[in-house]
Chains A and B, each alone.
Chain A
Amino acid sequence: GAVVSQHPSWVICKSGTSVKIECRSLDFQATTMFWYRQFPKQSLMLMATSNEGSKATYEQGVEKDKFLINHASLTLSTLTVTSAHPEDSSFYICSAKDRDSNQPQHFGDGTRLSIL
């Protein structure tokens, strides 16, 4: 089945650090990837839609200069949290849509980010 690999699975770092999270589709090509954030006991909130070779589309209220998204190939999208602060601590999850299938998005295992 379609596999989405997300790394790292967890990160603990100091306030002010920038953190990069990778999302890879291992056995399919994804023209579109999605980045979600989930706070404890809350649902997934879409942050941005990442399209290969073009700028990401951010949801309302998401700072594009803080959450940098790059989708340079059909199998890789990255999310960089710049100058992270404790309030950015959350569970970040990516998903990818198979370009050649009508199946729904496939989710990565998520990245738990803790900013001290």
Chain B
Amino acid sequence: QKEVEQNSGPLSVPEGAIASLNCTYSDRGSQSFFWYRQYSGKSPELIMSIYSNGDKEDGRFTAQLNKASQYVSLLIRDSQPSDSATYLCAVTRTGGGNKLTFGTGTQLKVEL
């Protein structure tokens, strides 16, 4: 079982729709959760971080964390073509020395 799992996609949504990206993790010692956006050929860019159960909103982005279900999601409202990228879920664990464990990423395509 992979430590961090994501559906590789591609996930296609029309412009203006809500994109929903999901991630599950296996280590119950995971303490911090991050969503990164990576354009082709570029390094990851931090979109959202979430540390406690519930929702966290930042502009068009909402991260949701459910530690009991070991599940974290990212919602992108009013999706734009510029949101087309690969979204990487990453976690750190307690006592892990800030090491990030990445999922394989979900490719999002926002279509005109």
How far, in angstroms, from A42 to B104 measured CA to CA in the complex? 6
Answer whether residue B82 sits at the interface, using C-beta atoms and an 8 A cutoff: no
Within 8 A of B (CB), among A68-116: 91, 93, 95, 97, 104-105, 107-110, 112
A49 with B97, Cβ < 8 A, contacts A43-B104, A44-B102 known: yes
| Interface 9-residue window, one of B11-19, B42-50, B54-62, B65-73 | B42-50
| Total residues of chain A contacting the partner, CB 8 A | 19
How many A-B pairs have beta carbons closer than 8 Å: the answer is 43
Is B74 an interface residue, CB under 8 A from the partner?
no
The prevalent SS among residues of B at the interface is: loop
**Option from A34, A42, A110, A112 in Cβ contact (under 8 Å) with B100:** A34
* Chain B nearest CB, measured from A39 CB (Å): 11
Q: Please provide the chain B residues from 17 to 38 with a CB less than 8 Å away from any CB of chain A in the complex.
A: 32, 34
Bound CA–CA A49/B105 (angstroms)? 22
Chain A nearest CB: distance from B65 CB in Å? 15
Interface residues of A (CB under 8 A from B): 32, 34, 42-46, 49, 91, 93, 95, 97, 104-105, 107-110, 112
